Amino acid sequence: MSATGGIAAVHARIAGIESRLGVGTTGRDVRAEQAFEQLLTAATAAPTAAGSTLGASAPATVPGPAATSGTLASVPFGHLFESAGRRHGVAPELLAAVAKAESGYDPRAVSHAGAQGLMQLMPGTAKGLGVTDPFDPAQAVDGAARLLADNLRRFGSTELALAAYNAGPGAVSRHGGIPPYAETQAYVPKVIRHYEELLAR
């Protein structure tokens, strides 16, 4: 199998998994992946100076593992959103949007209701996610990514996943949609707005 054929097969498999899990609804940005595929196709098709096709070393123009869409380059804790998003199948920009809405990127934030840290996890939620210190940004982002991934699988839409993050999955199930709570009704469009702004960078 050629290198480009292998990449296409992997992407087809990922798309199938995302479709079954509902992850595709997060709007995962695949522009960097497409650019990589185009460069790799050109590199493998073009002969080298010695007259052979691309061998063990790739040309300097092919982006490495650090090449991304760059949307989170200037966002606080952007590297944590990127890595947790990749691990759990959630758009990093969505995680960053939640953090902005929840805490304004403040890892020491505490709400009047007792939610804690960058991702504003309630103590019981944090414990259920295995987050031992919600004020630790790495733990908080990883826990939030797992929670959002679970909500996305359960409800099949970004809006409902966010409503469940804010009001709890039980409330979303009981009301058959975004609960009629003023806080949640304002929260969902606020996060979506931040998310769209990040994607548009």
Whole-number Å distance between alpha carbons of 109 and 117: 5
Of 33, 93, 102, 183, catalytic? 102
Helical residues (DSSP H) of 104-168, grouped into ranges: 123-128, 137-155, 158-167
Which helix (H) or strand (E) segment holds residue 10: the answer is helix 3-21
Spatial CA neighbour of 93 closest among 201, 199, 200, 2: 199
| DSSP reduced 3-state for 38 | helix
- 102 among known catalytic residues: yes
Whole-number Å distance between alpha carbons of 141 and 116: 12
Residue with tokens 């304002």: 186
The 10 Å CB-count burial string (b at 16+, else e) for 19-42 is: eeebbbbbebbeeebeebbebbee
Give me the active site residues, please. Answer: 102
